[in-house]
Structure formats: C-alpha cells, structure tokens
C-alpha cells in the first residue's frame, strides 16, 4: 500500500509542481472546450486563443514565484 | 513509412534531450552507489528497474494504439502540456536565478556521503545499493517512458523515432559515464530542460487544439511557430523575473 502511494505521488509530481499552475492550465482547456464551440470564431483564431491563454498562465506563474522570497 | 518531418524532428529532439536529462540524473546516483557500495548492487538495481520499465512499455504501447486518436490526443496532449510547461516554468525560474540550478556534483557528493554512513554488509546482499539504484532508475526511467510513449502515440509512426531518440540518449550517457566515471556536470541541464519544455509545450498545445477541434493555420508547421512563440515568452519571462528580483532586492 505504501509502495502504491509512493508511485502515485511520483506520477503526480511528474506533471504537477505548482498545483495552481497545473489547475489553471486544465481549467483554461476546459473553458475553451466548453465555450468556443458556442461562438462563431474562425478556426485559426481558436488555436491562437488557446496559445495566448497558456502563455499568460506561464508568465503569471513565474512572476508570482519570483515575487516570493 | 509515412511520417511528417515537422512531427518527426521535434519528436526525436524532445525524446533525445528529455531522456538525456533524466539519464544524466540517474547516472549521478548510480555512480555514487557504485563507488561507495560496489558495482554489483548498483547494476542489479538498474537492471531490475529497466526490466520493470520494459514491462510497462510492452503493456502501455499496444494498449494506447487501441484508443481512438482524438481521445489519445486530448489525454496525451494534456499530460504533455502539463509536463512541458512544468519544465519550461522551472527552466525560466532557474535562468532568472529565482531557484537554484541543478548541480550534479553537489548531488553526487551528498549521495556518496549519505551512502558512506550506512554499514556495508560483508559478503551478503547489499539491500541499500540495490534499492537506491533501483529507485532512481525507476523514477527517472518512468519519466522517459512517459515522454516516449506520449509523444510516440500521438501521431502515426512516431513511436519508433521517439524510442530511437531515447535509446540514443541512453547510449550517450552510458558511454560518457563509462569514460569519465564521474557525474556529467558539464551537460547544460537547464538549457536542455528549457529546450525540452519548449518542444513538449508546443506539441501539447498543438494536440490539445486538434483534439478540441481547432484547425491550426499551416497544419503541422504550426508546431514550429508554437516553439518560437514559447521561446519568445520564455526569454521575456526570464528578463521580467530577473528585473523583478532586482527590484525586490533578492539577488
């Protein structure tokens, strides 16, 4: 059981270091997946919106971390 | 074999560089075990972990091929995005001096010191050596297996190029390890992490977009544009973080 818990924790840490950063990425994908099909936006812009949002999440996360001592 | 070079190039590069980083980290600990506790336990631990990982690949690979491509793209794209962005974030923070750079020599020194303090059993089974080598190989190997399986399963005929990239990295690290017999501290780990983070984030973004039904302009060529976009964002972020740290007086 302890071994399984360790494996689970290892796998979790593979993808998540800052939980709010990971949650923001997943949330952004969910929002776009749910919201964008409801609007008539050209296809090429949808990818751009996904990308720009991810960049914004990345920049906000590193700046937030840099502000911490 | 019908493969797109805009996919194969980033796939092989990402698999090779990411595996190189992981194998270098594993080599540091395995060398520490071998020097302090002997090669027998270190090599047996490595071999056992590699056997376990081979079993995982043998089960995972064919299983992924049976899942519809769009579902695989969404699941794998999400995981690649999380993994790639995590590395990218870490590389930016290290380059800006916010967090410490990975130091293989320091890790090696700490590991050897810790291992020396433990009693070496004479003529019997060295459980510590075996377990330490097994754990580090399994841990770093799991990351390699994930990267290879993920990037290899998201497109037609990409598993072979991804596996070859990882095998080439293994060959390079084992050869260098045998030649120098010390941690490979001269490998620019953070630069490699940045490059891998860029490529995996770009591939993850591309596949998540495709799975959500977005049509990328320029089709596969968009991946190169996404890499360039993430690189620009990373460079700007490093500069912004450095200025922020200077302003806060934390340098």
Q: What integer pLDDT is reported at residue B156 of this predicted model?
A: 64
Q: For residues B181 and B37, give the distance between their C-alpha atoms in angstroms, rounded to a whole number.
A: 15
| CA-based nearest distance B248→chain A, Å | 8
**A54 is a domain residue:** yes
Q: How confident is the model at residue B233 (pLDDT cuts 50, 70, 90)?
A: very high
The predicted-structure confidence for B166-212, as pLDDT tens digits, reads as follows 889 989 988 888 787 776 766 777 888 899 899 889 989 998 998 88
**A39 is a domain residue:** yes
Q: B247 in helix, strand or coil?
A: helix
Per-residue pLDDT, averaged over B41-53, amounts to: 89
B244/A26 touch (CB, cutoff 8 Å), yes or no: no
Residue of chain A whose alpha carbon sits nearest to that of B230:
A55
**A11 is a domain residue:** no
What DSSP string runs through chain B? Answer: ----HHHHHHHHHHHHHHHHHHHHHHHHHHHHHHHHH-HHHHHHHHHHHHHHHHHHHHHHHHHHHTS-HHHHHHHHHHHHHHHHHHHHHHHHHHHTTSSPPP-HHHHHHHHHHHHHTSPPPSSS--HHHHHHHHHHHHHHHHHHHHHHHHHHHSSTT-HHHHHHHHHHHHHHHHHHHHHH-S--TTS-HHHHHHHHHHHHHHHHHHHHHHHTTPPPTTGGGHHHHHHHHHHHHHHHHHHHHHHHHHHHT--
Phi-psi region at A41: left, alpha or beta (left = phi > 0; alpha = psi -120 to 50): beta
Residues in chain B: 251
**A7 is a domain residue:** no
B92/A15 touch (CB, cutoff 8 Å), yes or no: no
Per-residue pLDDT, averaged over B80-90, amounts to: 93
Q: What is the pTM of this model?
A: 0.80
Q: Chain B interface residues facing chain A, Cβ-Cβ under 8 Å?
A: 78-79, 81-83, 85-86, 88-90, 92-93, 96, 98-99, 139, 142-143, 146, 201, 205, 208-209, 212-217, 222, 226, 229-230, 233, 236-237, 240-241, 244-245, 248, 250
Q: What integer pLDDT is reported at residue B120 of this predicted model?
A: 64
Q: What integer pLDDT is reported at residue B37 of this predicted model?
A: 80
What ipTM, to 2 d.p.?
0.90
- Write out chain B residues lying below 8 Å of A62, CB-based: 89, 92-93, 96, 98, 237, 240-241
Say which residue, B123 or B170, is predicted with more confidence. B170
Q: How many domains does chain A have?
A: 1
* Domain region containing A43: 17-67
Residues in chain A: 69
Phi-psi region at B183: left, alpha or beta (left = phi > 0; alpha = psi -120 to 50): beta
**A44 is a domain residue:** yes
Q: Chain A interface residues facing chain B, Cβ-Cβ under 8 Å?
A: 10-11, 14-18, 21-22, 25-26, 29, 32-33, 36-37, 43-44, 46-47, 50-51, 54-55, 57-59, 61-63, 65-67, 69
Q: Which of A43, A66, A69 best tests the B interface by mutation, with the highest count of B CBs <10 A?
A: A66
pLDDT above 80 (res B49): yes
B212/A29 touch (CB, cutoff 8 Å), yes or no: yes
Q: How confident is the model at residue B135 (pLDDT cuts 50, 70, 90)?
A: confident
**A43 is a domain residue:** yes
Q: For residues B194 and B202, give the distance between their C-alpha atoms in angstroms, rounded to a whole number.
A: 12
**A29 is a domain residue:** yes
With a CB cutoff of 8 Å and minimum separation 6, the contacts of B99 are A65, B90, B93
Local structure of residue B124 (DSSP, 8 states) = S
Q: B1 in helix, strand or coil?
A: coil
Q: For residues B82 and A18, give the distance between their C-alpha atoms in angstroms, rounded to a whole number.
A: 10
pLDDT above 50 (res B1): no
pLDDT above 80 (res B220): no
The predicted-structure confidence for A19-54, as pLDDT tens digits, reads as follows 999 999 999 999 998 888 888 888 778 889 999 999
**A25 is a domain residue:** yes
């Amino acid at each position: 059981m302890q071994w399984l818990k360790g494996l689970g924790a290892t796998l979790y840490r593979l993808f998540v270091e800052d939980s709010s950063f990971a949650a923001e990425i997943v949330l952004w994908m969910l929002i776009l997946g749910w919201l964008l099909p409801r609007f008539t936006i050209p296809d090429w812009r949808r990818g751009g919106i996904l990308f720009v949002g991810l960049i914004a999440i990345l920049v906000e996360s590193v700046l937030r971390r840099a502000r911490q001592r | 074999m019908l493969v797109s070079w805009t996919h194969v190039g980033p796939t092989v590069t990402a698999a090779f560089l990411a595996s190189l980083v992981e194998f270098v980290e594993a080599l540091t600990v395995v060398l520490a075990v071998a020097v302090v506790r002997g090669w027998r336990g270190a090599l047996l631990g490595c071999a056992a972990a590699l056997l376990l990982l081979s079993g995982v690949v043998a089960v995972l690979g064919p299983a992924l091929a049976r899942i519809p491509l769009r579902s695989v793209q969404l699941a794998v794209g999400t995981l690649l995005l999380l993994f790639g962005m995590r590395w990218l974030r870490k590389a930016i923070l290290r380059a800006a001096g916010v967090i410490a750079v990975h130091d293989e020599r320091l890790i090696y020194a700490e590991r050897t010191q810790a291992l020396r303090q433990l009693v070496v059993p004479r003529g019997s089974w060295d459980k510590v050596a075996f377990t330490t080598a097994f754990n580090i190989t399994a841990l770093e190997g799991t990351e390699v297996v994930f990267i290879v399986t993920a990037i290899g399963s998201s497109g037609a005929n990409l598993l072979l190029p991804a596996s070859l990239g990882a095998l080439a990295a293994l060959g390079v690290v084992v050869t260098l390890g045998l030649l120098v017999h010390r941690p490979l501290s001269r490998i620019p780990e953070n630069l490699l992490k940045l490059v891998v983070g860029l490529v995996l984030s770009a591939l993850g973004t591309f596949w998540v977009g495709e799975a959500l039904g977005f049509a990328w302009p320029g089709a596969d060529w968009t991946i190169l544009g996404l890499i360039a976009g993430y690189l620009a964002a990373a460079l700007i972020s490093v500069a912004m973080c450095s200025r922020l740290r200077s302003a806060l007086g934390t340098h």
